[in-house]
Amino acid sequence: MIDLEAIRTLADIPAAQARKRGDAVAVKFGDRETTFAELDDQSNRVANALVASGVTPGDRVSALTKNHDGWYPLFFGTARARACLAPVNCRLAAGEIAFILGDAAPKMLFVGEDFFDLALAAVSELANPPQLVALYGEHPAFAPLEVWLGDAPATAPTLEPQLGDDVLQLYTSGTTGRPKGVVLANKNYRRFLEMATEVDGFAYGEDETVMIVMPLFHVAGTNVSFSGLAQGGRLVLVKDFAAGDAIRMMTDERVAHAFLAPAMIQMMLQQPGADSGDYSQLRSIAYGASPIAEDVLRRARATFGCDFVQFYGMTESSGGGSYLSPSAHDLPGKLTSCGKPWPQTEMAILDGEGRALGDGEIGEIAIRGDIVMKEYWNRAEATADTVIDGWLHTGDVGFRDADGFYFVHDRIKDMIVSGGENVYPAEVESAIMGCPGVADVAVIGVPDDKWGEAVKALIVPAAGASVDAADVIGWARERIAAYKAPKSIDFIDALPRNPSGKVLRRELRAPYWEGRDRAVG
């Protein structure tokens, strides 16, 4: 259970647990263990050092790093300073990172040694670059963390975090290469903590071990961490996901709970000996963020022998929305459902005018409740287009059955979800256009047993040109993150378009999705 009197905001988690069970391990990372008392002290030192560095309430602080145990005191310290952590997807290209840093305008940027050169390339494009600190590792352009912390005290700062404070700013991919910063406030996470113990997959026991393999710039990684620590759990943090290591960790660390992207589940099932591991302590595996094949889900349930919980939601809804409970996985016809709404959360199917539709009618899935984001940072128009009368318009089209279960039927928007990462076709198309020999291009998501969806480019060659698929993929990878670049290319004579010239992506996707009854997870 979560003591909601002691934990009013996320910033309160380390202190509340330190008072209750300070010697218990909060985070294990490799061979290093951090107790709740140590996490509390470290968070206070970060908060005081931020204030001494000129960070004021409402300021942004960014991090560019792989998963690392230093992320937690950085987050909690930033929240205690009443500032907002804006972590950056470390898989992005320098230009993409530069845009995010320019948009968030952080006063501080904490960087892991894996990304020193990438960070320097990104900040070189900024008129007002942030102060650079090495979260771990050493580089002459970065202040070492301990040097930056200096003699900052481990006592709590005098600032009192407020429910209205912005606490986390996570960036989503943009349709035209301009990512949007989703602003989540303490009040959003207050509601999340109130609901967490009522939702299968987030209700953890004190001292139970929770494995964190999702990246901490992703709402799944942050939310599982917050819920685990708030309930006194022990986090085992993984820097880089490797299927074999994850299998061994489940056994060696006696893991009780984990959140896994479907692609991770698929890779783990393919490991030798996966079906003979000791998973006796494993209570639940939550999954989401991308489609999962029914065959993979059935094999996973048989292999791991624990409860499975599916989550459907968005970063814009603090990761919440609906969930398919373990018992619902066994109900006839519900395995392809995304479940029912979270407690104290509403969902509806809306038509194009925003009117609620009845059972069985197809429309846009919408979510309403205190988990809905505060805004898109610096995007008033996009915010107004997305949150209307309190309803978060997800961009997914689906229906609700007579039993109250929601089903995702297809996407209104053309976003591709590959391995839990969002990819927008327009951005990929923009990267490909200009490649010698390419006259026209459309990008779609096609089924992929490993990643859920894979990026495919359909290219119309220029007259008389000879285009090599590998050259096109290489061209794209030089301009956008590797995971956004197409994994395959087909050449066609012309793209289907409507009278206004818009590409008819549904027609392009149809042959690849034929016979699939689950287009979206």
**For residue range 346-367, what is the model confidence (pLDDT) as tens digits?**
999 999 899 999 999 989 999 9
Is-contact 313 367, C-beta < 8 A?
A: yes
For range 124-146, the mean pLDDT:
97
How confident is residue 176, by pLDDT bands cut at 50, 70 and 90?
Answer: very low
416-513, what's its fold?
Answer: GMP Synthetase; Chain A, domain 3 (3.30.300)
For range 69-76, the mean pLDDT:
98
* pLDDT computed for residue 521 by the predictor: 42
End-to-end CA distance of the chain: 29
Give every strand in the sheet of 166-172, ordered side by side. Answer: 143-144, 131-136, 108-112, 60-64, 84-87, 166-172, 180-185, 375-376
* pLDDT computed for residue 516 by the predictor: 73
Least confident of 53-57, 100-104, 210-214, 432-436: 432-436
114-127 pLDDT, tens digit per residue, is 999 999 999 999 99
CATH 3.40.50.12780 fits 10-345, yes or no: yes
Distance between CA atoms of residues 339 and 324, nearest Å: 4
Least confident of 20-24, 202-206, 211-215, 302-306: 202-206
Distance between CA atoms of residues 234 and 354, nearest Å: 43
Task: Break the chain into its structural domains and give their ranges.
Answer: 10-345, 416-513
pLDDT at 475 over 50: yes
Give every strand in the sheet of 321-324, ordered side by side. Answer: 32-35, 25-29, 234-237, 209-212, 255-260, 284-288, 307-313, 321-324, 340-341
- Strand intervals (E) in 351-427: 363-368, 375-376, 387-388, 391-400, 406-411, 416-418, 421-423
* pLDDT computed for residue 449 by the predictor: 85
The region that residue 319 occupies, defined by phi over 0 for left and psi between -120 and 50 for alpha, beta otherwise, is left
pLDDT at 257 over 50: yes
Least confident of 152-161, 245-254, 332-341: 332-341
Of 168, 170, 191, which is closest to residue 179 (Cα–Cα)?
170
pLDDT at 450 over 90: no
* pLDDT computed for residue 43 by the predictor: 98
Amino acid at 93: A
pLDDT at 518 over 60: no
For range 66-92, the mean pLDDT:
97
The residues that bridge with 400 in the sheet, in sequence order, are: 406
pLDDT at 247 over 60: yes
Considering the chain, what is the average pLDDT of its residues?
Answer: 92
Distance between CA atoms of residues 453 and 424, nearest Å: 12
For 65, other C-beta atoms within 10 Å of its C-beta total 27
* % residues pLDDT > 90 (the chain): 76
Helix (H, G, I), strand (E, B) or coil at 506: helix
Distance between CA atoms of residues 265 and 279, nearest Å: 14
Q: What is the 3-state secondary structure (H, E, C) of 37-61?
A: HHHHHHHHHHHHHHHHCCCCCCCEE
Least confident of 113-117, 221-225, 496-500: 496-500
For the chain, the C-alpha Rg in angstroms (whole number) is: 23
For range 441-452, the mean pLDDT:
90
pLDDT at 411 over 80: no
* pLDDT computed for residue 421 by the predictor: 85
4-18 pLDDT, tens digit per residue, is 999 999 999 999 999
For range 314-340, the mean pLDDT:
93
How confident is residue 175, by pLDDT bands cut at 50, 70 and 90?
Answer: very low
Helix (H, G, I), strand (E, B) or coil at 488: strand
> Between residues 404 and 413, which one has the greater pLDDT?
404
pLDDT at 132 over 90: yes
Helix (H, G, I), strand (E, B) or coil at 288: strand
For range 141-159, the mean pLDDT:
97
How confident is residue 500, by pLDDT bands cut at 50, 70 and 90?
Answer: very low
